[in-house]
Structure 1
Amino acid sequence: MPGKWAIGLMSGTSADGVDAALIEADAEAIYRFGPALSEPYDPAFRQRLVATYGGKGALDEIAAVERDLTQRHAVAVQHLLERAKLTPADIKVVGFHGQTIFHAPKERRTWQIGDGALLAQLTGIDVVNDFRSNDVAAGGQGAPLVPIFHKALVDALPAGSPRPIAVLNIGGVANVTWIGRDGSLLAFDTGPGNALIDDWAQRHEGRPVDLGGALAKKGRIDEDVLARLLSHPFFDAKAPKSLDRNAFHSKLADHLSVEDGAATLTAFTAASIARAVYLFPEPAQAWLVCGGGRHNPVLMDALEERLDAPVKGVNDVGWDGDALEAQAFAYLALRSLAGLPLSYPTTTAVPQPMTGGALHKAG
């Protein structure tokens, strides 16, 4: 039987805005996808939000940012309902990821700001948030959480689709889900995604992204800087593993030109993803790419060169690459309500399959 509509909300480490998406699903199956939208943050709010990264700043300012963030998510829900011609009564739950501002799983600490109770009050819909804390408290990495959703999508692909398959999400941090021939899962963060490239473009050009890879396309890769970046101990760690958005910094490229720096940091993202291949139980026969990084043709070309398998955007198989993470948190909210696992030993290194999420009832 078809499920009820659920809304997923995602604000990624790139801090560019809120993604909101509707899915019709239950805790184990996805029936259809509804509309999706993105609500960009204004530059002033984005600056305030990024200033909280690392848990920095006064607690009252972080609380003020959290309130403003939640209100922006409520507006996104309202706009999505209007687009879909639905009412709050049509929605079973909202999956509210919030904004990660600190993530240190070795210390068993993770912090996503976002007021679930306030969002439930503002939208009139039950809200599930705080998806990562249970996993981290139990000794897991707390990320990535989308692999079980990736598996549900891959299981619905036509018969004969390649396996093993890798689903690569390039957000601020990049993560990969490897799905084996028997449906087995392995997932982990591969390293930087767009974060270093975005920060470089912002610092040097006053732009939040290297749009279309324009800067990187004009530059030359500095192989010495690239090698030093790739010497980070994270890449020698076993999977599963996860990263904070600020685990890497572009300062090693500061002596380069704007274009050469962009080219080198783009190559760093591609090369760190390619290093992930050595952690797979068996080589992936295809890579499907979602997240903002798939819009960067220089990065996609670099992946094609470094990966010994076809690489294509997830839209080529009928998925919405811009909405995928938001859709995932709608699905995870439904699983949370049903008490089903969100993470597994092979996805976050948690000792046993782990559910999660905190429910906030509307009204």
Structure 2
Amino acid sequence: MLKSGPVCALGTMSGTSLDGVDAAVVMTDGHSILSFGDVAYRPYSEPERAVLRAALGRWPGDDGVEAAAEVVELAHAAVLARFRDAGLIGFHGQTLAHDPHGRGTHQAGDGRVLAQALGVPVVWDFRSSDVEMGGQGAPLAPFFHFACAKWINASAPVVFVNLGGVGNITWVDPAKDRPEAEGALLAFDTGPANAPLNDLMQARCGLALDEGGELAATGVPDEAVISEVLAGPYFMRIPPKSLDRNDFPDLANRVAHLSDADAAATLTALAVAAVARGLEHCPSPPERLLVTGGGRLNPLMMEMLIERCGIPAVQVEEVGLNGDMLEAQAFAYLAVRVLRGLPTSCPSTTGVAAAVGGGRVSRG
């Protein structure tokens, strides 16, 4: 257990878009955000990305997993070594497979390796305890979103929209006193976001992403494809609920008949339509959407989001947050909560049976 008072915590995130490692410092007591500190980013090289991509969907012991873990650990050690003053590290690892009601959840990377290399305590394996108690194990950023809503002095419910590889939303009522309180949060994955679009760009154009939505802006979304996908069983389920990056493996086939531009436009519009469908589950309409993740940098995706949802939507930078680093900051914040014995998820965020604190701790 940590002594009371502020902690300089360093968090990391390597998301499902496989772009690289984010690292960010948060000063927090595990309840409130006191300040934000330095940030850093270490991109994966294309060979590293290929190793990670080859291991997607695989579990411990499967071919390629050990190589992926080594890539993750080396990349994280490189970026974390740039920070000197952190007293604690929150290490998420790289999600390779997520099947909460089956085999569980698998994040590549061993926190013990980083603790030994850096000489700093590392909190890791954040999701397993939640899954073991019947939860989805995702999303885990909502408790941090609650703290962010307090930090920006939100006075009415807001929704954080994360448009990463998979989309997710967190509805927050800032009037509540703690994140696990009844009615404080509702969070869940909305559907595919940038991952299938990035995969399309890689396969058809040899590019990592549709930079600025430029290709999709020249195409026309196929609304019939979008409607067919949204009619699937996942979108009918009541949240909380979560997804794996590869839970919609047929999307490439669904847009195979379309031109590159129309296919990109369709997958861009699908990401937004899934968010709009998800908002129907919120306890009350939010005052605004605060958008994070790579999708917020896509002007077309942002334009579609406002049009389809009918709610004001802004990048989180407009309220003083860092959309590139929000998830890394979340795991810094959650690491402090773990060491203080505070919950990191609850029934309304992951469907877990009761509020639970996850994470393993490895000492430096």
Alignment TM-score > 0.5, same fold = yes
Q: TM-score, length-normalised on structure 1?
A: 0.94
Question: Is 2:126 aligned against 1:126?
Answer: no
- Residues 88-141 of structure 1, C-alpha deviation per residue, up to 9 Å, x if partnerless? xx3221000000011011215100011111011111111010000000011001
- Residues 258-308 of structure 1, C-alpha deviation per residue, up to 9 Å, x if partnerless? 000000010100101000121011111110001111001110000010112
| Structure 1 stretches of 4+ moved >4 Å | none
In 1, Cα distance between equivalents of 2:295 and 2:40: 18
Does the 8 Å contact 2:51/2:67 carry over to 1? no
Cα gap change, 1:346 to 1:57, in 2 (>3 Å):
closer
In 1, Cα distance between equivalents of 2:61 and 2:220: 41
1:61 CA drift (Å): 3.0
**Alignment-mate amino acid for residue 282 of structure 1:** S
Cα gap change, 1:58 to 1:131, in 2 (>3 Å):
closer
Does the 8 Å contact 1:48/1:65 carry over to 2? yes
**Alignment-mate amino acid for residue 116 of structure 1:** G
**Which residue of the other structure, out of 7, 31, 41, is the alignment partner of 2:10?**
7
In 2, Cα distance between equivalents of 1:200 and 1:23: 35
1:256 CA drift (Å): 0.5
Does the 8 Å contact 1:2/1:24 carry over to 2? no
Question: Is 2:233 aligned against 1:233?
Answer: yes
Q: TM-score, length-normalised on structure 2?
A: 0.94
Does the 8 Å contact 1:218/1:259 carry over to 2? yes
**Which residue of the other structure, out of 335, 341, 344, is the alignment partner of 2:337?**
335
**Alignment-mate amino acid for residue 212 of structure 1:** G
In structure 1, what is the equivalent of residue 208 of structure 2? 208
Cα gap change, 1:206 to 1:58, in 2 (>3 Å):
farther
Any idea what SS the aligned residue of 1:51 has? helix
In structure 1, what is the equivalent of residue 160 of structure 2? 167
Question: Is 2:258 aligned against 1:256?
Answer: yes
In 2, Cα distance between equivalents of 1:255 and 1:318: 42
CA RMSD of aligned residues (A): 1.4
1:4 CA drift (Å): 2.4
Any idea what SS the aligned residue of 2:341 has? coil
Does the 8 Å contact 2:167/2:189 carry over to 1? yes
Gapped regions of structure 2 (runs ≥ 5)? 177-183
1:229 CA drift (Å): 1.6
In structure 1, what is the equivalent of residue 43 of structure 2? 40
Equivalent positions of 1:36-75 (< 5 A) are 36-55=39-58, 59=62, 61-75=64-78
Question: Is 2:297 aligned against 1:295?
Answer: yes
**Alignment-mate amino acid for residue 113 of structure 1:** A
**Which residue of the other structure, out of 103, 106, 121, is the alignment partner of 2:101?**
106
- Residues 40-79 of structure 1, C-alpha deviation per residue, up to 9 Å, x if partnerless? 0000110110111110696363112202210110100112
Q: Which moved more, 1:244-253 or 1:314-323?
A: 244-253
**Alignment-mate amino acid for residue 96 of structure 1:** F
**Which residue of the other structure, out of 275, 278, 292, is the alignment partner of 1:276?**
278
In 2, Cα distance between equivalents of 1:358 and 1:6: 16
Does the 8 Å contact 1:162/1:286 carry over to 2? no
Equivalent positions of 1:338-357 (< 5 A) are 338-357=340-359
In 2, Cα distance between equivalents of 1:58 and 1:326: 27
**Alignment-mate amino acid for residue 145 of structure 1:** L
Does the 8 Å contact 1:67/1:115 carry over to 2? no
**Which residue of the other structure, out of 10, 18, 22, is the alignment partner of 2:21?**
18
Gapped regions of structure 1 (runs ≥ 5)? 82-86
**Alignment-mate amino acid for residue 271 of structure 1:** A
Any idea what SS the aligned residue of 2:215 has? helix
Question: Is 2:173 aligned against 1:180?
Answer: yes
In 1, Cα distance between equivalents of 2:323 and 2:5: 23
In structure 1, what is the equivalent of residue 131 of structure 2? 136
Percent identity of paired positions between Structure 1 and Structure 2: 46
Any idea what SS the aligned residue of 1:306 has? helix
**Which residue of the other structure, out of 96, 102, 113, is the alignment partner of 2:91?**
96
In 1, Cα distance between equivalents of 2:28 and 2:356: 20
Query: Hey, which of these two has a bigger chunk of helix by percent?
Result: 1
Does the 8 Å contact 1:108/1:137 carry over to 2? no
Cα gap change, 1:190 to 1:23, in 2 (>3 Å):
same
**Alignment-mate amino acid for residue 204 of structure 1:** R
Give the paired residue count. Answer: 352
Does the 8 Å contact 1:51/1:57 carry over to 2? no
Does the 8 Å contact 2:197/2:268 carry over to 1? yes
